[in-house]
Chain A
C-alpha cells in the first residue's frame, strides 16, 4: 500500500498534462527528456499508485532525479504541487524498498567528488551509528573539528537572536557564520547559537527518509525553544525546514516558528542599520536561489533588495533562470551527468548577463557553483 502517494492522489489528478512545467523545470531544460520533467514524474507516480506496475528501483532512480526546486508549482496553471507529490513518492520508496539499496542508489548516482565526500562527512555527524546512512556512506574520512565561534556579549542588547547555523555554514564556511555574528553584534544584538551544531534535517526529509529527518530534527527542538526574539538562519532551506518541515514532522512546533527568518530578511527589516554606509558595492550581480518554494523566492528577493541598498546592480531574472534546482544544494545525491546539463543552461544565462559575481544565500549552492562557474560565488554576508 503506497499510503503516501495515496494521500496526495487529489493533488496528482490536478495535473492536466499540459506540459507548462517544461518551460521552467531545470532538469528538463538541461536534458530535454520527458522522464526528467515534473509532468513525467507525476504520471509515473500515478501509474505506480494505481498499481500499473510495482514500486521499483528504476522508479526510485527517476524520482530521485528531481531537484526539488519547486519551480513547477508556481508555473503550473492548475496549481499541481509537484514537489509535494515527489516527496510522497520518495517517502513511499523509503518505507517500502530496501533502505540500504536506496541510500546506495542515492549516494552512488553521482561521480566521486570531493564535495560529495565532504558532504557525507558533515551529515554523518548528526545521525546515530546504527542508522542506515552510516552503513552505506564511507567511514574512513577524518572527523571534522567541532566549529567554534566567538560571540561578543552585548552590553545593552536591543534584541536576542538565535543564529541557526546550518551544517555547511558551520563546517565548510565558518567565516560566513562568524561574520553574521559580528554584523548582528555590531548593532547591539545579542547573538546566541545552538549548543550543538546540528543540521536542520532538511536533507533527509527531502530524500524521503522521514525517520532519520525526525531523529536529526528532534535534536534541534529544545535548542530552538529559548526566549529569543527571532531565530535567524544563514540559508533559505532552514527557514522552510524550521517552519513547514518541523510542523509536518512534529505537528504543532514546540517553538514559535513565526519567529524564523533568514539573515537577509532580518537585516532588511532593520532598515539597513547593519550596513556600512561608507561602503558602496559597485558590482553587477546575479542572485540565484536554490529553489522556488515561496520562502526561498522571498529570501532571494530580500537578498536582491539588500544588495541594491548596498549600491549593486542586481539582475532580475525570470523564475526559470533565477532558480537553480539543486536538491537543497546537495548535488551529491543527484545524477552528476544531469547536474552538468542543468549547469550548462545556468552558465549560458549567466554568460548572457556577464555579472561580476553570483550571490546566493545557499551555502551548499555556493559550494557547488564555485566549482563550475567562471565568476566568484558569494554569500551576501560576505559582502557586508
Chain B
C-alpha cells in the first residue's frame, strides 16, 4: 500500500529526517501503555498544521490509514496503528502559543505535555485542572483525543470541561476551527465537545484553546480507613449529600493497601477493607471548614482510623501511598490489565465488592482503586501476558467488570477511551441505533475510513 513514491511525497512535505521507515525505529511507535501493539508502515512527524493537512490529503487520495499519536501513554490502544499505514507523531508540535491571563486561557499545540502547560500557567497564578496520573508525560493532543480525567475530576471536571476552541484537520485535509475564545459560544454545532474524546477518529487536533482557573489558596488533606467497603461507599455518598465537594476523593481497596504497604512500608492499616484519601481546597477558611465537615462524616460512618495532614510534609506522606499504587501493584506481576469503569457515585461500594468477587471467581490476583467521588474505578488484573491460559481467564473477568458497571447504571470508560481494548464490549452499553448514528457521522466525515481505523466500533466480540 505504501510504496516508494508515497514515502517520497511524505518526505517532500515534512523533510526526510521526519519520515521513519526502518523496522527497528517503527517498532518504537507500535504500542501504547496497553498490551496492544501493531507495526506502522511509516512514521511521519509534521511540524505545522499545513504539514498535517497535506499528509491527510495524500493519505485520503491513496486510502492509507493514518493513526495520530501523541506520547503513546494511552490505556485503550487509541494510538496503536492496528491497520498499519501512517503513524502521525505530533510531538514536534509542542509549543505553548499563548497564555492570556486576563481571559484566563491558554492556546497550545497538541504535543505540549500536560505538566509543562500546568507549570507554565502556574507562573502567572493559574492552573489547568485536568491532571491524569500520566500528566508528567502525556500530551494535550492525547488528552483531547481520550478526554483525560484525573484526580481532581470530582470538583473540577475533565478535559472536555476546559477545551473551548480547536483547530482540526479533517480526514480530507480541510482545516477547520471550532468554538471561540469566549466564555459563551453557541454559533453553530458544538463540534469542540464532539472532537474531545473522539479518539482521533474524526479529525487531527492541531491547536487547542483551554480555559484556566486561578490557583487555589489552600489545601487540606486527610486519610480515613474503613472496616467495610460499604462504609467507605456510604461516606462518599454522605459527603456529597452534605453539599461538600472535595477536590479529590480517592478510594483504595484492601488489596491495593496491602501491596502498597509491602512495597513502601508506610504503616497503613493492613486490615482495613478500604481507604479514602480526601482533599479540599479553596480559601483557607472554606477548605478547613469543609474538611472538618468531612471528618465529622467519616466518624459518623464508622471510620476506624482518621489521619489529617498538619503540614506539607505530612500531606506528602498521605499522598505517597496513593501515588505508589500503580507501582506497587505492577511490581507483583508483569502485565497489568487496568480497566476504567464508572458507576453512579452511590454504587461505588457495590462495584468495588463486585469486582473483587469477579477476580476471585476466576482465580486471579486483582486490586482496585480509583476516583470514588466520580464513581470511576480502576479494577486491575495482575497477570503475565506470556501465560495464555491466565490471560484467557483475565479476559473473562474483564468482560464481567463491564457487565457489572452497566448493570449498576454505569459506563465502560471514564477517562481512558474505548480504543481497541473496550471495543469488543461497546454493544453492552451502546444501542444499535446510537452506534449506527455514530458510525454514520464517522462515514460522512471520513468516507474512506482512513483516520484511526479499527477503533471504537470494530471490536471482535468475546
Partner of B28, one of A23, A44, A53: A44
Contact of A19 among B20, B72, B92, B94 (CB under 8 A): B72
A13: which of B33, B136, B386 is its contact (CB, 8 Å)?
Answer: B386
What's the Cα separation between A53 and B24 when bound, in Å?
8
Q: Once the chains bind, are A19 and B71 in contact (CB under 8 Å)?
A: yes
Knowing A13-B386, A17-B33, A22-B137, the reply to whether A52 touches B331 (Cβ < 8 A) is no
A30 part of interface (Cβ distance < 8 Å): no
User: Closest chain A residue to B89 by CB distance?
Assistant: A34
Chain B CB within 8 A of A62 CB: yes
Stretch at the interface among A35-43, A113-121, A149-157: A35-43
Which residues of A, 37-59, contact B by the 8 Å Cβ criterion? 37, 39-41, 43-44, 47, 52-53, 56, 58-59
Question: A48's closest neighbor in chain B, by CB?
Answer: B24
Specify which of B24, B324, B331 is in contact with A58 (CB 8 Å cutoff).
Answer: B24
Q: Could you say which residues of chain A place their CB within 8 Å of the CB of B73?
A: 18-19
Contacts of B94 on A, CB cut-off 8 Å?
A: 32
**Complex Cα–Cα for A326 and B115 (A):** 26
Instruction: Known A13-B385, A19-B134, A53-B23; judge A43-B334 contact (CB<8 A).
Output: no
Q: Are B25 and A62 in contact (CB under 8 A)?
A: yes
Q: Is B29 an interface residue, CB under 8 A from the partner?
A: yes
Number of interface residues of A (CB under 8 A): 30
A146 adjacent to chain B (CB < 8 Å): no
Known contacts A22-B137, A34-B89: does B24 contact A62 (CB below 8 Å)? yes
The answer to whether the Cβ of B286 comes within 8 Å of any Cβ in the partner chain is: no
Residues in B with CB closer than 8 Å to A20 are 134, 136-137
Q: How far is B30's CA from A78's CA once the two chains are assembled, in angstroms?
A: 21
Question: In the complex the two chains form, what is the Cα distance from A37 to B71 in whole Å?
Answer: 11
Given contact pairs A34-B29, A43-B30, A77-B327, A10 touches B334 in the complex (Cβ within 8 A):
yes
Partner of B137, one of A23, A47, A52, A58: A23
B33 touches A19 (CB 8 A): yes
CA distance A53 to B28 in the complex (A): 13
B330 and A43: CB pair below 8 A? no
Query: Closest A-chain residue to B263, C-beta based?
Result: A79
CB neighbors of B among A56-115 (8 A): 56, 58-59, 62, 77-79
Measured between beta carbons, the chain B residues less than 8 angstroms from A33 are 91
Contact with B along A1-42 (1 / 0, CB 8 A): 000000000100110111110110000000011110101110
Residue B238 lies at the interface, judged by CB distance under 8 Å to chain A = no
A224 to chain B, nearest CB (A): 36
The residues of B that contact A10 with a CB separation of less than 8 Å are 334
Minimum C-beta distance from A58 to chain B (A): 4
Distance in angstroms between the alpha carbons of A43 and B32 in the assembled complex: 11
How far is it, in angstroms, between the C-alpha of A77 and the C-alpha of B260 when the chains are bound?
12
Cα A54 to Cα B78 with chains together (Å): 28
Say how far B327's CB is from chain A's closest CB, in angstroms.
4
Given the contacts A13-B385, A77-B326, A77-B330, A18 and B134 also touching, CB distance less than 8 Å: yes
A23 CB contacts on chain B under 8 angstroms: 115, 136-137
Contact across chains for B385 and A43 when beta carbons are under 8 A apart: no
Q: A40 CA to B137 CA in the complex, in Å?
A: 14
How far does the alpha carbon of A16 sit from the alpha carbon of B331 in the complex, in Å? 10
Q: How far is the CA of A318 from the CA of B324 in the complex (A)?
A: 19
What DSSP secondary structure best describes chain B's contact surface? loop
Within 8 A of A (CB), among B21-43: 22-25, 27-34, 37
Q: Which of A32, A44, A79 contacts B24 (CB 8 A)?
A: A44
Question: By the criterion of a CB under 8 Å from any partner CB, how many residues of chain B are at the interface?
Answer: 37
A247 to B73, CA, bound (A): 37
B27 near A47 with CB under 8 A, answer yes
Q: How far is the CA of A232 from the CA of B444 in the complex (A)?
A: 72
- The yes or no answer to B274 lying at the interface (CB within 8 A) is no
For B33, the chain A residues whose CB sits under 8 A away are: 16-19
Q: When the two chains form the complex, which single residue of B25, B136, B327 contacts A78, counting CB atoms closer than 8 Å?
A: B327
Judging by beta carbons under 8 Å apart, are A43 and B27 in contact?
yes
Contacts of B384 in A (CB 8 A): 13
In the complex, A253 Cα to B83 Cα: how many Å? 53
Tell me the nearest residue of chain A to B94, going by C-beta: A32
- If A10-B334, A13-B385 touch, does A22 touch B28 (CB 8 Å cutoff)? no
In the complex, which residues of chain B have a beta carbon less than 8 angstroms from the beta carbon of A62?
24-25
The CA of A37 and the CA of B25, in the complex, are separated in Å by: 11
CB neighbours of A32 from chain B (8 A)? 91-92, 94
Interface residue B164 (Cβ < 8 Å from any Cβ of A): no
Complex-state Cα separation, A79 to B24, whole angstroms: 25
When distances are taken between beta carbons in the complex, the residues of chain B under 8 Å from A16 are 33, 330, 335-336
B208 CB-CB contact with A under 8 Å: no
Report yes or no: B331 in contact with A34, Cβ–Cβ below 8 A.
no
Set of chain A residues within 8 Å of B115, measured between Cβ atoms: 23
Beta-carbon contact of A37 and B336 below 8 Å = no
Among residues of A, the one whose C-beta sits closest to the C-beta of B138 is A19
Q: Which residues of A contact B25 (CB under 8 A)?
A: 35, 58, 62
Alpha-carbon gap, A19 to B32, bound state (A): 9
Provide the residues of chain A in CB contact with B91, threshold 8 Å: 32-34
The smallest beta-carbon distance between A68 and chain B, in angstroms, is 18
Docked Cα-Cα span, A10 to B384, in Å, equals 10
Q: Kindly identify, within residues 301 to 337 of chain B, every residue whose CB is under 8 Å from any CB belonging to chain A.
A: 324, 326-327, 330-331, 334-336
Q: Which residue of A lies closest to B326 (CB)?
A: A77
- Chain A neighbourhood of B27, CB < 8 A: 43-44, 47, 52-53
A53 to B39, CA, bound (A): 12
Contact B28 A35 (CB under 8 A): yes
The distance in angstroms between the C-alpha atoms of A59 and B327, with both chains bound, is 30
Question: Separation in Å of the B39 CB from the closest CB of chain A?
Answer: 8
Give the Cβ gap from B72 to chain A, nearest Cβ, in Å: 6
Nearest chain B CB to A79's CB is how many angstroms away? 6
- Docked CA distance A52–B37 (Å): 12
Residue of A nearest to B73 (CB): A19
Complex CA–CA separation, A43 to B27 (angstroms): 7
Name the residue on A nearest B23 (C-beta): A53
Shortest B211–chain A CB gap in Å is 26
Q: Is the CB of A34 within 8 A of B72?
A: yes
* Given pairs A35-B28, A43-B27, A79-B327, 5 additional interface contacts (CB within 8 A): A16-B336, A17-B32, A32-B92, A35-B20, A43-B31
- Nearest first, the 5 closest Cβ-Cβ pairs linking A and B are A40-B28, A77-B327, A13-B334, A22-B137, A78-B330
15 contacts between A and B (CB under 8 A): A14-B330, A14-B334, A16-B33, A17-B31, A23-B136, A34-B29, A34-B72, A35-B28, A43-B28, A43-B31, A43-B37, A44-B28, A59-B24, A77-B324, A77-B330
